[in-house]
Chain A
Amino acid sequence: MTLRMTMPEQVATPEPLEPLIYELSVPGRVGVNLPVCDVPAAPLPADLLRDDLKLPEVSELQVVRHYLKLSQLNHAIDKGFYPLGSCTMKYNPKLNEDMARLPGFAALHPLHDTEGAQGALALMYELQRWLGEISGFEAVSLAPAAGAQGEFAGILMIRRYHLDRGDTQRTKILVPNSAHGTNPATVTMAGFEVVELPSDERGDVDMNALKQVCREQGSSIAGMMITVPSTLGLFEEHILDVIETVHNAGGLMYMDGANMNALMGIVKPGELGFDVMHYNLHKTFSTPHGGGGPGSGPVGVNAKLKPFLPGPVVDILEEASEPDESPLYGFVMPSKSIGRLKAFQGNFGMHVRAYAYIRIYGDSGIRDVSRHAVLNANYVRARLMDTYKIPYPRYCGHEFVIEARLDGAESIHALDISKRLMDYGIHPPTNYFPLIVPEALLIEPTETETKETLDEFIDVMKKIAVEARQTPELLHTAPHHAPVKRLDEVRAAKQLVLCCAPALPGAAD
């Protein structure tokens, strides 16, 4: 943190950490060197032109310093530990960034003719195959732009599958109460009704409830969405029974693949009997989270659902004539496709990164990713067990949940522990999710963290437990060493200042 200017006395309002880019603006300043016009100027259509444009006027160096300063106000994986449960904040390899920026990928037009885009198409084809192999699915579409869009694609495919068979009565999708919020929201978006299922005392789906729903409402059930391992970080113990029960009722099984980082080389969802799942390339396959995207959410399906995949997908248009030649790849629209999910063909830049990632690990290494993700989570869990309440007495997958209630520190909430972690340079775990655990802290270390980092986190968590009992105020008012203190979220929602343009000096439209 930089030192602020000496503050005048009795001024209650501290300076902002960095001015808005608009506040740096000086009329007439230019930050870019553009080519001069080398063709005769055409007459401009005067009646169609705007008078003014409220963009900042700043120099290139001002822009560089502004965004550099802003970047320093963030926490990030490159800066420190980021155990944000269900988000898989693993290391983002630098090689991947270089690969995505190769001009042959970055400067390739999405509507380029098939023959001239064979390298990109081959890459997509291989990635489809590898993702299919890792999860045991027949076919994969890379079209979805994020995990939530993959979910949406999956549920639309389930819908189309039933309609295609003339089965129009199936209007409900089962969703466990531990699910990510995207699951029930997806179900509604696709025009279905959510039937929420309770969890049992071991954190698994309540089998009695599931069997009862399937018995009583079986003919109206289109399918079920389930996360494996669950959002509690637990591998569902009755998974084969769950799948069989829903299949017997005529429903299809959707697996939310957000937690695939626990499963690679451990089990193939397709082999367990799932019909469709999505991958999060920005979780499992190391593509960066970007401060809120871009993601990429490919979907894998079995033979039943293959014709319904969102398109376009890459296929071989002509087999190679000679053994050492490449086939001709091209885009095709699956025969009964649910359609396009975005313009063009998925977040290709993320496909490039995921390709590089899988290529580095290869057949022998991919399983090690999940083995070590699970090892790291279980290690932290085992060492925190004496200090914090950990609700389910089982080995976890790649993440685990703490119930952040400490005896002798009744005023302390999960939020207080989260904010205090920042003072030690650690990003808080996901808090208040899953909803079924009170005061939940969902901790996901990922496989790329060293034992030293985990040990430091464990020590800090233990220290915070002591602080919670001895100096609770320290936690209530945390963070003390972050760029800003706790935010007034109520004011943000009430006053609703969402853009600064109207406050521009001299801005009159």
Chain B
Amino acid sequence: MGYIPHTDVERRQMLAAIGVTTIEDLFEAVPATHRFPRLKLPAPLSEVEVAREMLALAESNEHAQDFALFRGAGAYHHFIPSAVNHLLLRGEFYTAYTPYQPEFSQGTLQATFEYQSMMCALTGMDAANASHYDGATSLAEAVTVALQVTKGKRNKIILSPGIHPHYREVVRTYHQGRDVQIVGDDAPAQAAALADLLDDKTAMLAVQYPNFFGQIEDLAGLAEKVHRAGAVLVVVANPLALGMLKSPGSLGADIVVGDAQPVGVPLSFGGPYVGFFACKQEFVRKIAGRIVGESVDTDGRRAYVMTLRPREQDIKREKASSNICTNQGLMALGVSMYLALMGKTGLRQVAELNYHKAHYAADRIAALPGYQVNRERPFFNEFLVRCPQPVATLNQALVAEGIIGGYDVGQDYPHLAQHMLLCVTEMNPKEEIDVLVDVLGKVK
């Protein structure tokens, strides 16, 4: 039953070879008082029944195949070519593990090397690791690197309030056991004001690009100020936006992190996603996670292998800077496949589609009475709208029309009550946008 292949005859043969009469005899070291407890679980089901039950659970959710989705806020509904899923379902990829044995893992290793290369190209950095759990944990790991490169003499971390609220929470979770001062995210959302907080205790300053509100902040000059103060500039980036925007590397970033979910990973109710982490060459030996390097085998054939292993927990143990072991390998692989299919022109095209559609939606909503679109900065595929009604009320009306509306920003930013963050992507045809605008215009 289940996936256990043993027959009665085989069990008997195996027990005889071991020299016991029952399987239970093998558990003599477990305290008898606690051995073989009853498990109050539901009864087993057949594959047919499990599939039926789970389909019902799935279908009770309001999902992006049935609804027009205009919500982003850190997780985005984008087109993923069919080839990606087909290739990810190759058992040779998804039923393998960490490539500890390079001779038996060249597929995973070369694909990871290519992934690292693509992330370097997008971000304008020199090196990238094989991934972190998600964008938020990548940012938290960047803090660790910044504390290390400033040799423990600096403990102030400046976070822009324009960084995703969950990401900022995760940084605080990760560093609660350390003497670290996290500041900046109660200030106004503009990058320029953050620079005023720089001092000789600052290890790092981080901004998001585009920021949580979709705005493309003016980073010109920021890197110079951060570097003059002796700190590290970390940019949290949306990799799809980097299909058209200047790379953070060209703007002076030292470390670029983020979530690669927008480039090839389904929404999947929040995970698994994939945190990318790219940096300048000088930080490579300080970063956490798997890194794949090029080498040769004993025949001189080009091949790939995990490298700089002495940084990692299984070797360095309590002196390792992070405990990360399993990362998001398969999602990183999917991202590489997506980026290979999109290529240099395709990714630019998708990025521009997002830009144009978001601007079309913003222009039409701005023309509705009572709605005000924030245009302080250029935006990519998300924009902030001040609404005439509470966002929850509007979203209720929208869902009745088959539309999932924007994110209620007031939940995280009390001064932005009644502000909706709308996201428009290449998945929203013009007709969907027009219906969204019509419904918003009609809510009384």
Within 8 A of B (CB), among A133-168: 133-134, 136, 145-149, 151-152, 156, 159
A3 at the interface (CB under 8 A from B): no
The contact string, 1 if C-beta is below 8 Å from chain A, for chain B 44-64, is: 110100110111111111111
Contact across chains for A395 and B29 when beta carbons are under 8 A apart: yes
B21 at the interface (CB under 8 A from A): no
Contact across chains for A39 and B356 when beta carbons are under 8 A apart: yes
**How far is the CB of A3 from the nearest CB of chain B, in Å?**
15
- Which of B186-194, B200-208, B311-319, B366-374 is found at the contact surface with chain A? B311-319
Contact across chains for B268 and A366 when beta carbons are under 8 A apart: no
Contact of A89 among B25, B97, B169, B298 (CB under 8 A): B97
Contact across chains for A339 and B296 when beta carbons are under 8 A apart: no
The contact string, 1 if C-beta is below 8 Å from chain B, for chain A 362-392, is: 1111111101101110110011000000000
Contact across chains for A342 and B137 when beta carbons are under 8 A apart: yes
- Which of A247-255, A464-472, A495-503 is found at the contact surface with chain B? A495-503
Smallest CB-CB separation from B429: which chain A residue? A38
Q: Give CA–CA (A450, B307) in the complex, Å.
A: 35
The contact string, 1 if C-beta is below 8 Å from chain B, for chain A 20-47, is: 1110010001111011011111101100
Most buried by A among B273, B323, B336: B323
- The size of the chain A interface, using a CB distance under 8 A, is 208
B327 at the interface (CB under 8 A from A): yes
Given contacts A102-B58, A119-B59, contact A55 B5 (CB under 8 A): no
Q: Give CA–CA (A14, B294) in the complex, Å.
A: 15
Contact across chains for B106 and A108 when beta carbons are under 8 A apart: no
Contact across chains for A189 and B346 when beta carbons are under 8 A apart: no
- Which of A291-299, A315-323, A405-413 is found at the contact surface with chain B? A291-299
Contact across chains for B105 and A362 when beta carbons are under 8 A apart: no
Smallest CB-CB separation from A184: which chain B residue? B318
Given contacts A22-B114, A265-B39, A379-B17, contact A34 B103 (CB under 8 A): no
**How far is the CB of B404 from the nearest CB of chain A, in Å?**
7
Taking CB atoms, residues of chain B closer than 8 Å to A17 are 106, 301, 303
A474 at the interface (CB under 8 A from B): no
Taking CB atoms, residues of chain A closer than 8 Å to B113 are 20, 498-500
B152 at the interface (CB under 8 A from A): no
Q: Give CA–CA (A12, B297) in the complex, Å.
A: 12
Contact across chains for B378 and A185 when beta carbons are under 8 A apart: no
Taking CB atoms, residues of chain A closer than 8 Å to B178 are 191
Contact across chains for A192 and B271 when beta carbons are under 8 A apart: no
A-B contact count (CB 8 A): 703
Q: Give CA–CA (A374, B14) in the complex, Å.
A: 11
**How far is the CB of B9 from the nearest CB of chain A, in Å?**
9
Most buried by B among A91, A130, A290, A356: A290
Q: Give CA–CA (A339, B299) in the complex, Å.
A: 51
Contact of B60 among A37, A118, A234, A433 (CB under 8 A): A118
Q: Give CA–CA (A444, B319) in the complex, Å.
A: 28
Contact across chains for A105 and B61 when beta carbons are under 8 A apart: yes
B164 at the interface (CB under 8 A from A): yes
The contact string, 1 if C-beta is below 8 Å from chain B, for chain A 90-117, is: 1111010111111111111111110011
Q: Give CA–CA (A240, B112) in the complex, Å.
A: 44
Contact across chains for A56 and B61 when beta carbons are under 8 A apart: no
Most buried by B among A68, A87, A107, A448: A107
Given contacts A67-B87, A362-B42, contact A106 B360 (CB under 8 A): no
B133 at the interface (CB under 8 A from A): yes
Contact across chains for A42 and B359 when beta carbons are under 8 A apart: yes
Q: Give CA–CA (A340, B260) in the complex, Å.
A: 20
Contact across chains for A112 and B71 when beta carbons are under 8 A apart: yes
B355 at the interface (CB under 8 A from A): yes
Contact across chains for A95 and B51 when beta carbons are under 8 A apart: yes
Within 8 A of B (CB), among A203-219: none
Taking CB atoms, residues of chain A closer than 8 Å to B363 are 42
Smallest CB-CB separation from A36: which chain B residue? B353
Contact across chains for A501 and B4 when beta carbons are under 8 A apart: no
B418 at the interface (CB under 8 A from A): no
Q: Give CA–CA (A16, B297) in the complex, Å.
A: 10
Most buried by B among A21, A113, A346: A21
Taking CB atoms, residues of chain B closer than 8 Å to A134 are 39, 41
Given contacts A341-B173, A362-B45, A498-B292, contact A267 B35 (CB under 8 A): yes
The contact string, 1 if C-beta is below 8 Å from chain B, for chain A 328-366, is: 000000000011111111111110100110111111111
Within 8 A of A (CB), among B145-200: 164, 166-167, 169-170, 172-174, 176-178
Contact of B62 among A112, A359, A430, A449 (CB under 8 A): A112
Contact across chains for B18 and A93 when beta carbons are under 8 A apart: no
**How far is the CB of B347 from the nearest CB of chain A, in Å?**
6
Identify the 8 closest CB pairs spanning chains A and B, nearest first. Answer: A191-B177, A104-B58, A344-B270, A78-B91, A292-B329, A362-B44, A290-B330, A110-B270
Supply 28 A–B pairs (Cβ within 8 Å), ascending by A.
A13-B301, A17-B301, A31-B81, A39-B360, A71-B87, A71-B107, A84-B100, A104-B61, A109-B75, A112-B61, A119-B61, A146-B324, A148-B323, A185-B318, A185-B323, A267-B37, A268-B34, A289-B97, A291-B108, A293-B328, A343-B74, A349-B268, A359-B44, A369-B2, A379-B17, A450-B6, A496-B284, A496-B308
Known: A58-B343, A68-B87. 12 other contacts (CB 8 A): A25-B343, A37-B357, A39-B433, A134-B41, A239-B31, A292-B99, A343-B166, A359-B53, A365-B1, A375-B15, A378-B18, A484-B106
